[in-house]
């Protein structure tokens, strides 16, 4: 299926690994001019080579001015911006009563405010494009709270609300905004050393293998997602094939959240 992404400038945040890297690769394969970014210059270079991206930017999006600089560098290098995929974020296991105000605020800055700031910075270019697109990566935890990740859950619910807000505000400018809500995905965040599987094992006394088996079995499809499966949904929402889709929160979770909408 032709997605109509040829020559579109697509910026993917948090794209040196996992879902972000897979998204950059899928978009580039569809002919988009992709920009990748991350905190580490070596990893940005690796991601650019691995994905086929045309440009890479080093940026720590938890810093208030970084999203503006990221968008400005993208526009200077490629002449504008057609699509913004907000994917950067962090997640970790913790008990509600253990979390400090600083931990709440740090996650809010990265998981929510980086999205707000990136969208705000991108708006002029998206308006000029006349068919600009924003896709925000949320989580099943934003629809059904994960008691083991309280601050992550709240930030991902905020991303869903932000996505609907932006869709309503800027539809008149031809800008579409949607959210994607993945379930557990077989990326480093879950299966890497020290990742969520190891963290959950440490908190429950299970082995990491038992945790991963249980998490997979908790999906109706019986397994974790692969990063490309989430990336394909994101690419569709970026594309002309989704030209009448805005304000939606697309579950890509193997049937995890048992609701119709």
Summary mean pLDDT of the chain: 96
| Cα(261)–Cα(251) distance, integer angstroms | 9
Q: Which of 92, 152, 170, 244 is catalytic?
A: 152
3-state secondary structure of 8: coil
Q: Render pLDDT for 122-160 as a digit per residue (tens, 0 to 9).
A: 999 999 999 999 999 999 999 999 999 999 999 999 999
Query: Two tokens at 150?
Result: 């309280």
Q: What is the 3-state secondary structure (H, E, C) of 72-104?
A: HHHHHHHCCCCEEEECCCCCCCCCHHHCCHHHH
What's the pLDDT band for 260 if we cut at 50, 70, 90?
A: low
Domain positions in the chain are 9-183+226-252, 186-224
On whether the pTM is more than 0.85, the answer is yes
Q: Render pLDDT for 55-72 as a digit per residue (tens, 0 to 9).
A: 999 999 999 999 999 999
> What mean pLDDT do residues 224-251 have?
97
Protein fold of 9-183+226-252: Rossmann fold (3.40.50)
The yes-or-no answer on residue 152 being catalytic is yes
User: How far lies 26's CA from each of 39, 46, 205, 225, 239, in Å?
Assistant: 22, 16, 38, 16, 12
DSSP state of 54: S
Q: Render pLDDT for 15-44 as a digit per residue (tens, 0 to 9).
A: 999 999 999 999 999 999 999 999 999 999
């Amino acid at each position: 299926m032709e997605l109509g992404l040829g020559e579109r400038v697509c910026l993917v945040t948090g794209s040196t690994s996992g879902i972000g890297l897979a998204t950059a690769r899928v978009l580039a394969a569809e002919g988009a001019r992709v920009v990748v970014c991350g905190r580490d210059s070596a990893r940005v270079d690796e991601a650019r080579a691995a994905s086929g991206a045309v440009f890479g930017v080093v940026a720590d999006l938890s810093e208030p001015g970084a999203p503006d600089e990221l968008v400005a560098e993208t526009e200077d290098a490629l002449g504008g911006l057609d699509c913004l995929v907000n994917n950067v974020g962090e997640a970790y296991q913790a008990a509600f009563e253990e979390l400090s105000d600083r931990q709440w605020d740090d996650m809010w800055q990265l998981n929510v405010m980086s999205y707000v700031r990136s969208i705000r910075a991108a708006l002029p270019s998206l308006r000029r494009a006349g068919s600009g697109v924003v896709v925000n990566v949320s989580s099943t935890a934003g629809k059904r709270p994960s008691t083991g990740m309280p601050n992550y859950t709240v930030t991902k619910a905020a991303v869903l609300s932000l996505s609907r807000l932006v869709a309503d505000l800027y539809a008149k400018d031809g800008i579409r905004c949607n959210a994607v809500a993945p379930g557990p995905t077989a990326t480093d965040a879950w299966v890497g050393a020290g990742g969520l599987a190891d963290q959950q094992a440490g908190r429950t006394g299970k082995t990491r293998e038992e945790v991963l088996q249980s998490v997979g079995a908790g999906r109706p499809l019986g397994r974790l997602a692969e990063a490309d499966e989430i990336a394909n949904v994101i690419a569709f929402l970026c594309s002309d094939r989704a030209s009448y889709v805005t304000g939606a929160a697309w579950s890509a979770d193997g049937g995890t959240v048992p609701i119709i909408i």
